[in-house]
Structure 1
Amino acid sequence: MSNEDITRHRLRVGGWLPSFDGDGQARPGNVGTDLVRYVPPPGVATHSRAFLRRRLAIAGVTVVVFVVAATVASFQRGGVAPATSVSAGPDYLWPQAEDLDTSAGLGTAEASPPGAPTTAAVDGTGRPAAPGRTTDGGGGVATPATPPPAATPPTVSLTVGASVGLEPVTHSGYRVRHRNFAGRIDPIGSGSSSVDKADATFRVRRGLASNQCYSLESTNYPGYYLRHQNFRVYLHRADGSQLFAADATFCAATGLAGQHTSLRSLNYPDRYLNHRSSELRISTADDSSTRRAATFVIRAPF
């Protein structure tokens, strides 16, 4: 190879391949000493980044289309419709307890709280016994869990010579009684002391100031009567005066609460025997509350 060819084409055995321009002409340089990197001049077509992004986008779309087509084909072969979301509407039922596998620990009843019985009592028909009732050990017959309350003493009428007790309709289980010679109401029952029972028992007498009315004499203090003084009621010994007789006389009337009995003062006919804050007194009955407080059930003594 001549020197002219070497110079023009810059080729020699063992040398470097020279760089070329866009038109194929070799660029001048030091052959064999430099490693020339190819940098295309402006305007020359290359694989730009935009070109690569387009290629990648096309490839991605192709993959997606292929996956969708494969999925649809698999559903069609299996006869299964694509899954859809289920809303908890009226037609959607949660699994019932009987549909669950109890052997796996599902569908079992909620655990009872500590101390609660593990089984319910049943009556003779095999059904659960009513609340508040228990069953005996034999025939399974339901029986009351607690005994019924003690019978209330019967009502009686105001009869001269009879011993009675007065129970206010506003306080069931209470009785009119005297204590420290003052009239009041207190809870008195069959379990009360003999003194309390005696304090709450009065003998009906013909009215000291009128045969048409009544006076109430203490059974454990004979000769002492319920009488009003300054509109309070006390237990005082009869002194034979007209004032005492009038203060100790009460006329029976239909209960101001609509039933039972009210006792009207003879010498203050607009006032009735009643109670307020456990104290016995006579006062007018202007509203439903005071009318009820002035109404009593006549009971047999304990």
Structure 2
Amino acid sequence: MLIAITYSITYDNKRYQKAVDAAGGFAAPEARLPACIVGGCALPIGLFWFAWTNSPSLPWAASMAAGIPFGFGMVLVFLGLMNYLIDAYTIFAASVLAANSVLRSCFGAAFPLFTTQMYSALGIHWASSIPAFLALACVPFPFLFYKYGAAVRTRCKYAAESDAFMKKLREESERQGDDEEEEGEKEILASDERYDSDGEPISAHSGEKEKEEEEEEHEGEGEAEGPRFEEMRAPGDADAEEGGRLGLALRKVGTGRSMRSTRTVRDENGYIVGPFDIDRVNTRESFRRTKSRASTGSGGWR
């Protein structure tokens, strides 16, 4: 297991990062499967090794050493499979991981029910070989999914929907990046306004002079207008009306803007827009939203 972790950190992660860079920042889920391929080949080796070295005539270390390829393969298969399922189903990752855990637990609960009869009938060598044969039968699957996984996912309802959702997010991210570049160009052009029509820079002395004049004007306005904010006092127990006015004042923004409406507003993507819009959750409902005005008559988004 430690060897598998070292392999993942020193080699497999770097390989995956290269695949991400080559794909422009978004690698296909199949890029997670090479670790599964390596681990899938190591698993049956360790199981067959254990099955045919567990005789009492051989030293105990001979069969226990089979745990090296078995542990190495098990960790790589587990990590590669989890990463592949998450990348393939994204917004449905919790459901697909739960289904994977249920299926794995069913096998783990069923096999101990007939283990004693299996070893009594087949003997220690052939009975131990049954898991090895099952692992050997699963070896081709990582290779097949690595080559045909993209085509298989297009025929899966939830995987196809997840892929379409991720493409939409990437397009929005690219548009947002283009908008930021345009804003940066506008800021550069705005900074160029410090030059006159002949292309000559405005002198720093004149700029400092204008700044001093602006400061003097602001100081004069401050003396004429007085303090902008009044001191807030806590309401007394007997003055309920004053307390209500204070509560209303606390709910307003202190910059002079009016209080925001508490009515729920949604943007074009169906997200709730609010002053604390910091935890948008991408769910199936936000992607497959439909307008229910015609069907339900409510006039809202469903």
Give TM class, smaller chain.
under 0.3
Between structures 1 and 2, the one with greater strand share: 1
Rg larger for: 1
Higher relative contact order (CA 8 A, sep 6+): 2
Between structures 1 and 2, the one with greater helix share: 2
TM-score (norm 1): 0.16
